[in-house]
Structure 1
Amino acid sequence: MKFTFASLLLLFFGLTAFAPKPKLTTVKLASSLSVGVPVGFAPLPDDGIAVKYPSPRKPLAVFSNPSGRVDFSVAVRPTTFESFDYGVLIKIYKSSIQRLYTKVDFIKEDIRTVNGRDLIYFEFVSTVADSKRTGSQLAPIKRYQTVQYAIEGTQLYVFTFVAPADEQAQWQPTAQAVMGAIVMKK
Structure 2
Amino acid sequence: MKISPFLLLLFGLLAFAPKPKLTNVKLGSGLTVGVPATFAPLPDDGIAVKYPSPRKPLAVYSDRSGRVDYSVAVRPTTFESMDYGVLLKIYKSSIQRLYTKVDFIKEDIRTVNGRDFMYFEFVSTVADSQRANQLAPIKRYQAVQYAIQGQQLYIFTFVAPANEQAQWQPTAQAVMNAIVLK
TM-score for the superposition, normalised by structure 1:
0.95
For 1:166, the equivalent position in structure 2 comes to 163
Give the Cα–Cα distance (whole angstroms) in 1 for the partners of residues 19 and 84 of structure 2. 30
Structure 1: runs of 5 or more not aligned: none
Q: Which amino acid aligns with 1:143?
A: R
Q: Which amino acid aligns with 2:177?
A: G
For 1:119, the equivalent position in structure 2 comes to 117
Q: 1:39 aligns with which of 37, 40, 44?
A: 37
* Secondary structure at the counterpart of residue 148 of structure 1: strand
Give the Cα–Cα distance (whole angstroms) in 1 for the partners of residues 102 and 8 of structure 2. 33
Q: 2:25 aligns with which of 24, 27, 44?
A: 27
1:16 and 2:23 correspond: no
**Cα deviation per residue 1:36-84 (whole Å; 9 max; x = unaligned)?**
0001100011110000000000000000000000000000000000000
Shift of 1:165: 0.2
- Within 5 A, what are the aligned runs for 1:22-101? 22-101=20-99
For 2:151, the equivalent position in structure 1 comes to 154
Structure 2: runs of 5 or more not aligned: none
* Secondary structure at the counterpart of residue 47 of structure 1: helix
1:178 and 2:170 correspond: no
1:140 and 2:137 correspond: yes
Shift of 1:181: 0.2
Give the Cα–Cα distance (whole angstroms) in 2 for the partners of residues 73 and 116 of structure 1. 21
Q: Aligned pair count? A: 182
* Secondary structure at the counterpart of residue 67 of structure 1: coil
TM-score for the superposition, normalised by structure 2:
0.97
* Secondary structure at the counterpart of residue 137 of structure 1: coil
Q: CA RMSD in A?
A: 1.2
Shift of 1:6: 5.2
* Secondary structure at the counterpart of residue 139 of structure 1: coil
* Secondary structure at the counterpart of residue 37 of structure 1: strand
Q: Which amino acid aligns with 1:112?
A: R
Give the Cα–Cα distance (whole angstroms) in 2 for the partners of residues 5 and 88 of structure 1. 42
Aligned-residue identity in percent: 83
Give the Cα–Cα distance (whole angstroms) in 2 for the partners of residues 5 and 67 of structure 1. 42
* Secondary structure at the counterpart of residue 55 of structure 1: coil
* Secondary structure at the counterpart of residue 57 of structure 1: coil
Shift of 1:12: 1.6
Shift of 1:5: 3.9
Structure 1 residue runs of 4 or more that deviate by more than 6 Å after TM superposition: none
* 40-49 vs 4-13, greater mean Cα deviation: 4-13
